[in-house]
Amino acid sequence: MKTTERLLSATADIWAAYNAHPFVMGIQDGTLARDKFKYYILQDYLYLEEYAKVFAIGIAKAKSLDTMRLFSRQVNFLTEGEMNIHRGYMGAFTVSQEELSATPRALDNLSYTSYMLRVAYEEGEAEILAAILSCAYSYEVIAKTILKNNPRAAEHPFYGNWVKGYAGSDFCDGNVVLLDTLNFLTCNYTEDQLQHLTDIFVACSRYELAFWEMAWNMSK
């Protein structure tokens, strides 16, 4: 079994809960309240600022030029690509820089990003990939499941861009590289090392589910 297959098997129930969550279902059928989505966009933008730092630490931890380039490309994609989706929505909500700067990170957001940064500082390149993969790949899975359940979701005048962005080829192609690289880096890992990777991935997957719950409840 490939490492990524093991990780996904260990978190199957958690990942199944993503698309069953009322926040995600609201995007799927277009009924999500706009104030909840605004809250999510602001918190997720703040999350991505810290998430990009995890990849940046990965550049320093990389043991090969190829892995260094992978982390570097991801930093660029996050800051110039994914965060642009959020900037577009913040424009739709007329969020000013002052409002964004005054928005505190919710406790679940702070806990999640602090955990990933701790993994990045304390662990190696494969462990960093395991920490970020639950976010990167789950968004692809969520967006594609939304489209499977409701093909017209991509046409929604407000939420369609979010769905198309995470189901799009640019985002998904990046995930193929992340998955393949993690499998390559861990092909000779011991059982103890693989279990440690699994623990990291399970923790981050649980944080992902907590993030959706945080957004739904607009928790502080």
Q: What is the pLDDT of residue 135?
A: 95
Q: What is the pLDDT of residue 95?
A: 85
Reply yes or no on whether the pLDDT at 90 is more than 90.
no
pLDDT band at 81 (very low <50, low <70, confident <90, very high): low
List the one residue out of 2, 10, 11, 95 whose CA is nearest residue 46: 95
Angle formed at CA 132 by CA 147 and CA 150, multiple of 5 degrees:
5
> Residue 164: phi, psi to the nearest 5?
-65, -35
Residue with tokens 């009924």: 31
Reply yes or no on whether the pLDDT at 19 is more than 90.
yes
Burial of 54: CB neighbours in 10 Å, binned 0-12, 13-18, 19+: buried
Mean pLDDT on 1-12: 97
pLDDT band at 101 (very low <50, low <70, confident <90, very high): confident
Reply yes or no on whether the pLDDT at 198 is more than 70.
yes
Contacts 24+ apart (CB under 8 A), 118-123: 119/54, 119/200, 120/53, 120/54, 120/57, 120/58, 120/61, 121/57, 123/61, 123/200
Share of the chain above pLDDT 70, in %: 98
Which residues are catalytic, by number? Answer: 135, 208
Pairwise CA distance, residues 130 & 124, whole Å = 10
Which of 46-55, 110-119, 170-179 is modeled with the greatest confidence?
110-119
Chain CA centroid to CA 26, Å: 19
pLDDT band at 115 (very low <50, low <70, confident <90, very high): very high
Mean pLDDT on 188-216: 98
Reply yes or no on whether the pLDDT at 80 is more than 80.
no
Reply yes or no on whether the pLDDT at 66 is more than 80.
yes
Domains of the chain, earliest start first: 3-217 (1.20.910.10)
Q: Among 76-80, 81-85, 144-148, 150-154, which stretch is predicted with the lowest mean pLDDT?
A: 81-85
